[in-house]
Chains A and B, each alone.
Chain A
């Protein structure tokens, strides 16, 4: 285990409030999702179709990108391409500067986090207003999101109340949830209505119409994207779907998998900037299509990961995520999907713990609405890590030696006898401490082996 990962895990495991907060949100999401799926008889068919839609788009990305660009341009939007995170940030900052922007309103987007947009805006001296309630909380706390759907899921309402009291220039009445919501609403509306530029991500990009789809439960996207003079969309190229009909098929799965709702409160499609007859809307719309490693993922055996619709179900159902929370993963994306994505985005050497710190229990794959074989992809990263010599030497030597013995039955039998002999010296029945097995016996007792192995007894004729 790397020292950095170990430190983050230890901090998370030692935080009882984190545990309560994560369990409350993930547990509620789990129960609501289960009820929603039970009531959705076509779930299996819908998953199969959604996976096929995404696979099709990923296999024909070039075609759909061109189609989207043509349609969006015809609708009056400007389409930009960014190969890397830095390129994407530079494009966004240039647009902001050209628009003379001092303040931008942001609607929650994981892509913004992925490319480091908050940091880039700060460096450019542009004031950033996070309009999603949870992102607002995160901004006040000067933290990073800990979940892709509930960025502030690691915080309790008491912690949020304390933050609001400190930062909102309003009467200190935020003890109840409605009072806190009201406080946030008043505070945020100022920022939304006063912003020069609105920046969002996209849940789906509709290739044949050039439309951009966002879903929220707070309506903050609409309020922060329509009034400003300029709307900038940052989106991964894998967000494309061929048509509105396909987007709707994906939407049926997204909300149910995320929160158990049939649909989100707000689902909005933006096609180009304000037209002559429109009463409101931005004067200009810019869409930044970002690769940032996605083409390479497709070519490196991770194409299935590009199906991901960012619903968060995999992390809500992950035993590891539920113990350590999202920050422990150390990347933009946490949980099982993050453990697949982070090595692709940040490099395997810096994140090899993530695909390893998984029990491969398969629950994530069971709940994923687009059937991403997450355990198989995680195993793929482990193989790469092994091939590249990134695994710790003790582990490599141990597995290699054991594998060598496992191919030589006589030696193997001898090794089993030796292990039995050695282990029984540390206890009969239960072993409470065993050298070299401290990882086990620090927390659990270990059953001692019987005096003789099965194979030996069987060979002697015992039945």
Chain B
């Protein structure tokens, strides 16, 4: 990036859960992206990336949603998503949906190639470092889609290590699924609960004040279990802490 280059125009895709449950994550994303020198736009017609339909086997429905999402997102320098699984849906699953439709495949691939999970974008593409602070100990859960479909592991840790006062404690089984799995957690609640119970116990015994992760779905599952079990650990999306919003209400705390 030469100094003369204009700031990249980044489309923020907030995800349906952020929009509905926790808007703070969207605002944190904007703050971090602007601090990293981006011009942020939030395409107005966005809804959901279609992941629930896709993972339920509703291919026709998922394809229809993917088409309108692609049309909405193309034409930006980058598309940034504060969720590893939604970013992976656009990056990895969309092109697979159009393997027999060359015209749409080209458009899907063009969008996929410019779509990033937010922390991967800030760290790898922008080479940005936060200058925020938070006095706390935190542990980090590696959400599955981001980890395995997009290779997100070191990027959030690199960014979090630049948050002054924050110390990261390792989490036993950090790469083990928390049992959320989108619709899995409501279709098979007993199995999901058994998995979440072990995850919550590992988080609780880590000794951290905060649980951080990059996906609101997983965070809701883990935080919901921790709260039900009476744990004092508070949960945030990692981008909230990175953007300097880790002092506010945690997930499930009244705003």
Interface residues of A (CB under 8 A from B): 1, 9-10, 13, 319-320, 323-324, 356-363, 365-366, 376, 379, 381-387, 391, 395-396, 399-400, 402-403, 405-407, 409, 412, 416, 419-420, 428-430, 432, 437-440, 442-455, 457-459, 462-463
Interface stretch among B101-109, B131-139, B174-182, B201-209?
Answer: B174-182
B57 and A384 within 8 A (CB): yes
CB closest chain-A residue, reference B255: A450
A445 and B224 within 8 A (CB): yes
What are 16 pairs between A and B in contact, CB < 8 Å? Answer: A9-B191, A13-B194, A360-B144, A362-B144, A387-B59, A399-B52, A400-B58, A406-B47, A409-B46, A416-B20, A420-B20, A439-B185, A444-B193, A444-B221, A445-B224, A462-B27
- Whether, in the assembled complex, B100 has its beta carbon less than 8 Å from a beta carbon of chain A, the answer is no
B65 and A382 within 8 A (CB): no
Chain A residues with CB under 8 Å of B5's CB are none
B149 and A361 within 8 A (CB): no
Q: What CA separation (Å) do A364 and B101 show in the bound complex?
A: 30
CB closest chain-B residue, reference A462: B27
B181 and A360 within 8 A (CB): yes
Q: What CA separation (Å) do A446 and B211 show in the bound complex?
A: 16
A319-B179, A399-B56 given as contacts; is B30 within 8 A of A463 (CB)?
yes
B44 and A406 within 8 A (CB): no
A361 and B177 within 8 A (CB): yes
Chain A residues with CB under 8 Å of B21's CB are 447, 449-450
Q: State how many angstroms separate the Cβ of A11 from the closest Cβ of chain B.
A: 11
A13-B194, A360-B55, A430-B252 given as contacts; is B186 within 8 A of A403 (CB)?
no
User: What's the interface size class on B, roughly?
Assistant: 35 or more
A447 and B19 within 8 A (CB): no
CB closest chain-B residue, reference A324: B191
Chain A residues with CB under 8 Å of B18's CB are 454
Q: State how many angstroms separate the Cβ of B31 from the closest Cβ of chain A.
A: 8
Q: State how many angstroms separate the Cβ of A280 from the closest Cβ of chain B.
A: 50
Partner of B19, one of A1, A357, A360, A416: A416
Q: What CA separation (Å) do A43 and B50 show in the bound complex?
A: 36
Chain B residues with CB under 8 Å of A447's CB are 21-22, 220, 223-224, 251-252
- Whether, in the assembled complex, B159 has its beta carbon less than 8 Å from a beta carbon of chain A, the answer is no
Chain B residues with CB under 8 Å of A448's CB are 252, 254
A361-B144, A402-B52, A458-B42 given as contacts; is B57 within 8 A of A391 (CB)?
yes
Q: Which B41-71 residues have a C-beta within 8 angstroms of A?
A: 42, 44-48, 50, 52-59, 61-62, 64-65, 68
Name 10 extra pairs, CB < 8 A, besides A403-B65, A445-B227: A324-B194, A358-B181, A358-B184, A362-B144, A383-B58, A395-B187, A403-B62, A406-B16, A406-B65, A440-B186
Q: What CA separation (Å) do A223 and B222 show in the bound complex?
A: 51
Q: State how many angstroms separate the Cβ of B94 from the closest Cβ of chain A.
A: 14
A386 and B184 within 8 A (CB): no
Q: What CA separation (Å) do A453 and B22 show in the bound complex?
A: 8
Chain B residues with CB under 8 Å of A400's CB are 58, 61
Q: State how many angstroms separate the Cβ of A378 from the closest Cβ of chain B.
A: 10
B191 and A391 within 8 A (CB): no
A319-B179, A361-B177 given as contacts; is B58 within 8 A of A403 (CB)?
yes
B48 and A406 within 8 A (CB): yes
Interface centre among A365, A444, A447 (most CB of B within 10 A): A444
A320 and B187 within 8 A (CB): no
Chain A residues with CB under 8 Å of B255's CB are 450-451
- Whether, in the assembled complex, B247 has its beta carbon less than 8 Å from a beta carbon of chain A, the answer is no
Partner of B50, one of A406, A439, A458, A462: A406
CB closest chain-B residue, reference A390: B57
B188 and A399 within 8 A (CB): no
Q: State how many angstroms separate the Cβ of A369 from the closest Cβ of chain B.
A: 16
- Whether, in the assembled complex, B35 has its beta carbon less than 8 Å from a beta carbon of chain A, the answer is no
Interface residues of B (CB under 8 A from A): 14, 16, 18-27, 30, 42, 44-48, 50, 52-59, 61-62, 64-65, 68, 96, 144-145, 147-149, 175-177, 179-196, 220-221, 223-225, 227-228, 251-255
Q: What CA separation (Å) do A440 and B182 show in the bound complex?
A: 11
Chain A residues with CB under 8 Å of B147's CB are 362
Chain A residues with CB under 8 Å of B24's CB are 450
CB closest chain-A residue, reference B12: A458
Chain B residues with CB under 8 Å of A409's CB are 44-47
A10 and B177 within 8 A (CB): no
Chain A residues with CB under 8 Å of B22's CB are 447, 449-450
Interface centre among B14, B30, B45, B68 (most CB of A within 10 A): B45
B252 and A357 within 8 A (CB): no
Q: What CA separation (Å) do A450 and B14 show in the bound complex?
A: 15
B179 and A1 within 8 A (CB): no
Q: What CA separation (Å) do A406 and B182 show in the bound complex?
A: 17
A359-B181, A366-B148, A445-B227 given as contacts; is B19 within 8 A of A437 (CB)?
no
Q: What CA separation (Å) do A457 and B20 show in the bound complex?
A: 11
Chain A residues with CB under 8 Å of B181's CB are 358-361
Interface centre among A381, A406, A442, A458 (most CB of B within 10 A): A406
A457 and B23 within 8 A (CB): yes
Q: State how many angstroms separate the Cβ of B95 from the closest Cβ of chain A.
A: 13
Partner of A382, one of B57, B145, B175, B190: B57
A429 and B144 within 8 A (CB): no
CB closest chain-A residue, reference B34: A463
A428-B254, A447-B21 given as contacts; is B228 within 8 A of A399 (CB)?
no
A9-B191, A403-B64, A409-B44 given as contacts; is B57 within 8 A of A379 (CB)?
yes
Partner of A429, one of B61, B68, B254: B254
Q: State how many angstroms separate the Cβ of B202 from the closest Cβ of chain A.
A: 12
